[in-house]
Amino acid sequence: MTTWLLLAAAILAEVTATLSLRGALDQPALYVVVVVGYVLTFALLAQVLRRGMGLGVAYGLWGAIGVVLTAGASAVLFGESLGALKISGILLIAAGVAVVELGSQRARRAEAATAADAGAGERPHGGPGPVPVAAADTAEIPAEEWLAGATAYGSRGEVELLRELEIHAIPDESTGEHDGTVTR
């Protein structure tokens, strides 16, 4: 849910910056809002991507919703025309983004089913093994995906430590016991 709120904030920041760009033609002080808005937009969009949303989905929604909101707001605020051809184009963009999102959801479900069929949830007692994959309909990020994101922030040694902790600190799912390793 937080990812979607961050994306909504990125979209609103982008729309605000774009509308301020048009307004800055008459009031140059609005250029400050333009710069702050675009910096905030890309910072928020980066957070959305870090949280695991696919680039095609995030950018598609960001762009399409931004176009719709900017076109509507510019018609209201600046008196720009919104004819049938322009509205048709906006609807086509929205339909395209919906198709991309549906395709992305289908791909995530197929990946989860393939991983489940391959025994991705199995972990040998006391040894390394695949990390269980969350079900396709849950919002939980699989541990491997989280760990891959952690490499962007930590050194290789920290990532290896995280993997070691993951291997030894998780109870064996079949018996509910630890592998004998004490974690601190």
Q: What is the pLDDT of residues 28-75, one digit of tens each?
A: 999 999 999 999 999 999 999 999 988 888 988 898 899 889 999 999
94 and 28 both lie in a single domain? yes
**C-alpha–C-alpha distance, residues 9 and 2, integer Å:** 10
Q: Is 133 helix (H, G, I), strand (E, B) or coil?
A: coil
Asked if 83 and 27 touch (Cβ cutoff 8 Å), the reply is no
Which of 93, 117, 141 finishes a domain? 117
Which of 58, 90, 117 finishes a domain? 117
How would residue 1 be classed by pLDDT, with cut points 50, 70 and 90?
A: confident
Q: Is 183 helix (H, G, I), strand (E, B) or coil?
A: coil
The pLDDT > 90 percentage for the chain reads: 36
18 and 85 both lie in a single domain? yes
Domain that holds residue 27: 2-117
How would residue 114 be classed by pLDDT, with cut points 50, 70 and 90?
A: confident
**C-alpha–C-alpha distance, residues 10 and 37, integer Å:** 9
Helix or strand holding residue 16 (H, E): helix 2-23
Q: pTM for the full model? A: 0.57
- Of 62, 56, 82, 54, the C-alpha closest to 18 is 62
108 and 127 both lie in a single domain? no
57 and 143 both lie in a single domain? no
9 and 64 both lie in a single domain? yes
Mean pLDDT, residues 105-109 taken together: 79
Mean pLDDT, residues 161-176 taken together: 53
**C-alpha–C-alpha distance, residues 123 and 41, integer Å:** 41
94 and 20 both lie in a single domain? yes
150: tokens are 């952690």
How would residue 151 be classed by pLDDT, with cut points 50, 70 and 90?
A: very low
105: tokens are 């959801």
Q: Is 171 helix (H, G, I), strand (E, B) or coil?
A: coil
26 and 80 both lie in a single domain? yes
112: tokens are 């989860």
- The count of C-alpha atoms lying within 13 angstroms of the C-alpha of 179, restricted to the half-sphere facing its C-beta, is 17
As for how many domains the chain has, the answer is 2
